[in-house]
Chains A and B, each alone.
Chain A
Amino acid sequence: MTPLPIEQSGRARERERVRAAQNGDLLAFEELYRENVGRVYALCFRLAGEATLAEELTQDAFVRAWQKLPSFRGDSAFSTWLHPLTVNVALSERRSRRRRTSRVIATDDLTLLEKPERRAGPELGVDLERALDGLPDGARAVFVLHDIEGYKHHEIAGLTGVATGTSKAQLHRARKLLREALER
Chain B
Amino acid sequence: MTCGEAQERLDGHLDGSLPESQFHEVELHLAGCETCRQEESRLRRLLDLAATLPREMKPRRDLWPELAARIEAERSGAGSLARSRPRLRTSPAALAAAAAVLIAVASVVTHVGGARVGGPRESLPTLARPAAVSGPAHVQDAETEYVRATGQLMAALNARRGSLSPETMKAVDDNLRTIDDALRQVREALDKEPGNRQLTQMLASTHQKKLDLLLRLLRLSARI
Q: How large is the interface on B (under 10, 10 to 19, 20 to 34, 35 or more residues)?
A: 35 or more
Asked if B46 lies at the interface with its beta carbon under 8 angstroms from chain A, I say: yes
Across-interface contacts of B112 in A (CB, < 8 A): 107, 110-111, 113-114
- Determine the main DSSP class of A at the interface with B: helix
Contact with B along A48-88 (1 / 0, CB 8 A): 01111111101110111011000000000000000000000
B50 touches A110 (CB 8 A): no
Asked if A130 lies at the interface with its beta carbon under 8 angstroms from chain B, I say: yes
Asked if A105 lies at the interface with its beta carbon under 8 angstroms from chain B, I say: yes
Asked if A39 lies at the interface with its beta carbon under 8 angstroms from chain B, I say: yes
B11 CB → nearest A CB, Å: 5
Contact with B along A115-126 (1 / 0, CB 8 A): 101000000111
Q: Which of B195-224 contact A (CB under 8 A)?
A: 212, 220-221, 223-224
B56 touches A108 (CB 8 A): no
Q: How large is the interface on A (under 10, 10 to 19, 20 to 34, 35 or more residues)?
A: 35 or more
B82 CB → nearest A CB, Å: 8
Q: A113: nearest residue on chain B (CB-CB)?
A: B220
Asked if A184 lies at the interface with its beta carbon under 8 angstroms from chain B, I say: no
Q: List 12 A-B contacts (CB under 8 A).
A: A37-B59, A39-B56, A41-B63, A41-B118, A51-B59, A53-B106, A53-B110, A55-B118, A59-B70, A63-B67, A67-B81, A182-B46
Q: A38-B56, A45-B57, A178-B46 are in contact. List 10 more A-B contacts (CB 8 A).
A: A41-B56, A41-B63, A45-B118, A100-B103, A107-B112, A107-B175, A114-B112, A130-B121, A147-B47, A179-B42
A contact residues vs B (CB 8 Å cutoff):
24, 26, 29-30, 33-34, 37-39, 41-42, 45, 49-56, 58-60, 62-64, 66-67, 93, 96-97, 100-101, 104-115, 117, 124-126, 128-130, 133, 143, 147-148, 153, 168, 171-172, 175, 178-179, 182-183
